[in-house]
Structure formats: structure tokens, C-alpha cells
Amino acid sequence: MRTYANPVIGGFHPDPSVCRVGADHYLVCSSFEYFPGVPLFHSRDLVHWRQIGNVLDRPGQLVLPDGVPASAGIYAPTIRHPDGRFYVITTEVGGRGNFIVTSERPEGPWSDPVPVGLPGIDPDLAWDEDGSCWCAVAGVQVARIDPATGAVLEGPLPVWSGTGLQHPEAPHLYRIGAWWYPMLAEGGTAHGHSVSIARARSPRGPYEPAPANPILSHRSTDLPIQCTGHADLVSAPDGTWWMLLLGTRPRGYFPHFHVLGRETFLTPVEWVHGWPRVGPVRERHPAPAAWHPVEPPPERDDFDTADPAQYWISPRRRPEGSWSLQERPGWLTLTATGNSLDRAGHTFLGRRQQHPDCRVVVRMDPGSGRGGLSVRMDEAHHYDIEVSGGAVSVLARIGPLRQCLARQHVPPGEVTLAIGIRTTGVLPPTVSAADRAADDALGVRPGGPDTITFSLGGPTPVTLAELDGRYLSTQIATGFTGRVIGMYATEGSVAFDWFEYEPAAGSPA
């Protein structure tokens, strides 16, 4: 039997929403403080996804000033295709609130935002049989709106607030047969996360909750996938039903740490007596009938295109003049817009860490500038390997502390920098002292999720430092995002010949 592995989209890709158009599926995720916003994926089988763009890819669509904190910005988009046109509705937290963008093609171009006169977060769109558009927001409230203008025509109406757990949010409203179903997340987006559902004959209600609520939760279990919730339903062309949802893969010793953020998982759905039934989300499931593998993104970017690849993201903005692929053909040139990664406004171009075990290598020409590679959670939590003034340094920013942990002189010219990440886990008492020391850079039991190694490349690579990865985790940094590994400049201009991201052999997706 063919099976697929979860997650189907690894790394910081939370709050998935999906729609089907014929045999094609389209999926969007939250992007928070990063630009471009709302990554957009395509799949023919719900398992193999390829990023085909970003919905908010123009500065006029997404303006996130430096004052927007980490984990604010773009929350919980919903994608729908009701009338031959694509609609995405989302919330800009700390900015414009709810808005809609539209496009005739999923690849874009997408329209400028149309504000929706409805408070709340996590908005959803659904259409009834007479063409009226209904918008649901966390709470759960619904309102009839004009999607062309964002005007509220009726409501908002409080219809159903879940089973009583905290933070009823992420509502999706479906018209399936003769029933309307609001499905929501509740219990908070941590270990208490869950999915619940109700139904009514009208979008206005009254709604009856499912007798088996929550229909999905991994709380108080030892399953390797945790925090399951914020789900969306979709039917495949063969009539089967599926759920896309977020979850985490914790590692290390209690209380466990997840470092990749909340990822996108897929699980099958059955309908029993008019209600969806969802089993636990497993690391492997029987595959959908359709099977259309796609080419994975390249492991190496040689910067020989006119624009950055779609997976490159930057905190809040990417102003013109901060980057160039033409100034030095075949190289990415970054020019500093701020003098520190510890404050917003710096120049950074990164990609999500998508595998628990991986390696990143770049070839860099620092010139007379300052820059390097960074593993980033936010401005207060990042590890960096930096070249400046004829030396390579390893720097750590953890909360209020900032320290240089290693420094080595290098000759002028190009240099190769490498970051390796390997999971560590909890070593049992039977492990020998020698083996324990070999896997422990800090002299304490390696109870964190992974070890991050910083190296200077060349004919004989030199390891400069090994750091505990727990300090770049959600449990320490807090927030809703995951690790992003990228290139930066904090003084002058620096150039990168290539960037290589390589999952470790056998590393889960």
C-alpha cells in the first residue's frame, strides 16, 4: 500500500487553508511579520506541494513598518474559488485588520487589498445558493458581506462559540449538502489545541454541535505530532475527504521544544451520520488515490535569476536598494539598511528551516562590509556566523544577552560558511560517558531539541562553535513562527555566490 509522510509541508507553514478547482488544489498559510506574505502552493494529490507564488508580493499590498513586532502581521488566510475567481481573505494584525484580495489565476497578479468592515481575526468566506457571501470570524460570528467592497450587509451574528474551551478561532464555514457546518479551533494553539464542528440548515443558525466534539485533538497523548488544530476540509476528485491542519513535532527533554514552527499536516476524513470523523494524525497514512509527485525545490540557489526565488522571505519588508541580483551577475548582493539583527530594519533574506536535520552552506564575499548567515526566530533570538574586519565570529543573541562565542581570523576575499543542525534528543542512562560527551557541546545532558554547529569551510573545515538549539525554539522565544535561516548585511554591502540548503539523509520532511 502506498503511504505518504507527514508533514506534507514542513517548516513554518501554519494555519493552512485549501480549495480545489477541478483536479488542482491550492493552499495558503500564515506569514506573520515576513515579506512577501501568504505563500501559495499547488498540488494534484494533496501530498506533494509546490510553491507557485506569494499572494502579497508587492509593497503596496503589504506594508509592515518596523514597529510591527515579531509574530504580528498576516494571520490565518482563507482561500476560496466560488465563481471562477480566487479569493483570499486574511487579517493584518497591528495594521489594516481584515481584507480581501482576488485574482483570476492563482499565480497572480493579485489585486490590491479591499478592507472588510468586520472586526476579529481568522476570517473565512463561504457562498450560499443565491450567491450571497458570508464571512465568519473568530468567536464565532458570521456576517453577510459584499466581497467586492468589503461592506457588511447583515450582522455580525453570534452563531456558535465552540464547546467552551479557550480561544475559539480559525472558523471555516462550509455548505455541504443541505447543511451548513462551522468548524473551528479551540483550546489554544499549543498542546490543548483541538478541532470542533457544528451544523445548521442556515448560515444564521441555530447550530447544533457534533456529539463527538472535539473531532480532533492530540492533547494529553504521547503522539509524536502535537498541537493539532486550525484545520480546513477539502474533497478530492474521487469523492474522498481530507483535512489540512497545523501541528508541531516536539523534540528533546521535558517540556519538549519545537523549533520549525507549526507545520502543515494531512489526514483522511470519513463522514458518519452527517458528521466528519477524523482519526489521530499519524506520521504515515495511506495515500490518496491520486499520486502526482513534483520536483522538490532546488537545494542550491546560484542567484542566476532576475528576482529572488519565491521561498525567500525578509522580516517586514525588502526595500529596493537593499538587494540586487544584477549588480554582480550570478551573485546576490545585500546592502545594509540597519546595523544590527537585534533591531527591526535590517537587511535579511532567508528561507524556512523545513527539516529537523539539515545543513546550510554559502559562499560569501564580505568585501569591506559586515554580514553572514543567521538562524533566526526574532530580533531577540538568533545565532549568527559573521564575517567582518578579516575575522569570522559566532554570535548568540538570547533574550537580553548577546555574546561572541568564537572568533577566527581569515585572509581577505571569499569565504565559505556552514551551519549544521542535528537532532539530539534525550540520551538514556545506558549511554557511555564517551558517547555522551561526543554529542554534548555544553557539558550538560543534551535535553534540547538539536545542536547547531557553525563552521568555516575550505579544504579542511573548521568547527567554530556548537550551540544548544533550545534557545531558538517557540518554548523559549515564544510567538507563532519558526526558524528561518538566511543571509544578512549589517554594514556596507556583502555578496553571496550561492546558498545551499541540504536535508540530512533520512531526515523526515
Supply the CATH number for residue 360's domain: 2.60.120.200
Q: What is the mean pLDDT of residues 295-324?
A: 95
Q: For 443-478, b where at least 16 C-beta lie within 10 A, e where not — what string?
A: eeebbbbbbbbbbbeeeeeeebbbbbbbbbbbbbbe
> d(Cα 188, Cα 201) in Å, to the nearest integer?
28
**Is residue 414 flagged as an active site residue?**
no
Cell numbers of 377, please? Answer: 526566530
At 197-235, the pLDDT tens digits run 999 999 999 999 999 999 999 999 999 999 999 999 999
Residue pair 12/274 in contact by the 8 Å Cβ criterion: no
At 159-169, the pLDDT tens digits run 999 999 999 99
Is it the case that residue 172 has pLDDT exceeding 60? yes
- Which of 57, 92, 169, 263 is catalytic? The answer is 169
pTM here is 0.95
> Does residue 114 form part of some domain?
yes
> Does residue 411 form part of some domain?
yes
Average pLDDT score over the chain: 94
Of 286, 310, 335, which marks where a domain is finished? Answer: 286
The range of the structural domain enclosing residue 255 comes to 3-286
**Residues in contact with 433: Cβ distance below 8 Å, sequence separation at least 6, in sequence order:** none
At 449-469, the pLDDT tens digits run 999 999 998 777 899 999 999
Q: If DSSP codes are grouped into helix, strand and coil, which group holds residue 279?
A: coil
- 328 in the same domain as 465: yes
Identify any residues that bridge with 452 across adjacent strands, giving them in sequence order. 421, 467
Is it the case that residue 82 has pLDDT exceeding 80? yes
Q: What is the mean pLDDT of residues 339-350?
A: 97
> Can you give the pLDDT at residue 428?
44
- 281 in the same domain as 315: no
> Does residue 280 form part of some domain?
yes
Is it the case that residue 436 has pLDDT exceeding 60? no
Residue pair 255/320 in contact by the 8 Å Cβ criterion: no
- 458 in the same domain as 400: yes
Residue pair 267/16 in contact by the 8 Å Cβ criterion: no
**Residues in contact with 394: Cβ distance below 8 Å, sequence separation at least 6, in sequence order:** 383, 384, 385, 386, 404, 405, 406, 407, 454, 464, 465, 467
pLDDT band, very low/low/confident/very high, at 438 (cuts 50, 70, 90) = low
Residue pair 384/373 in contact by the 8 Å Cβ criterion: yes
Domain of 91: which CATH number? Answer: 2.115.10.20
- 318 in the same domain as 271: no
Is it the case that residue 329 has pLDDT exceeding 70? yes
Cell numbers of 247, please? Answer: 501541528
- 218 in the same domain as 106: yes
Residue pair 307/318 in contact by the 8 Å Cβ criterion: no
- 211 in the same domain as 97: yes
- 159 in the same domain as 24: yes
Residue pair 188/217 in contact by the 8 Å Cβ criterion: no
> d(Cα 138, Cα 135) in Å, to the nearest integer?
10
- 344 in the same domain as 273: no
Sort 437 into a burial class: Cβ within 10 Å, 0-12 / 13-18 / 19+.
Answer: exposed
**Is residue 112 flagged as an active site residue?**
no
Is it the case that residue 437 has pLDDT exceeding 90? no
> Can you give the pLDDT at residue 5?
96
- 139 in the same domain as 260: yes
Distance in angstroms between the alpha carbons of the first and the last residue of the chain: 20
> Does residue 409 form part of some domain?
yes
89-93, 361-365, 407-411, 433-437: range with lowest mean pLDDT: 433-437
Cell numbers of 237, please? Answer: 476528485
- 361 in the same domain as 251: no
> Does residue 508 form part of some domain?
no
Of 286, 315, 336, which marks where a domain is finished? Answer: 286
> Does residue 291 form part of some domain?
no
485: nearest Cα among 362, 345, 369, 332: 362
As for how many domains the chain has, the answer is: 2
> Does residue 156 form part of some domain?
yes
> Does residue 489 form part of some domain?
yes
Sort 504 into a burial class: Cβ within 10 Å, 0-12 / 13-18 / 19+.
Answer: middle
- 343 in the same domain as 194: no
Of 254, 286, 318, which marks where a domain is finished? Answer: 286
- 406 in the same domain as 276: no
pLDDT band, very low/low/confident/very high, at 430 (cuts 50, 70, 90) = very low
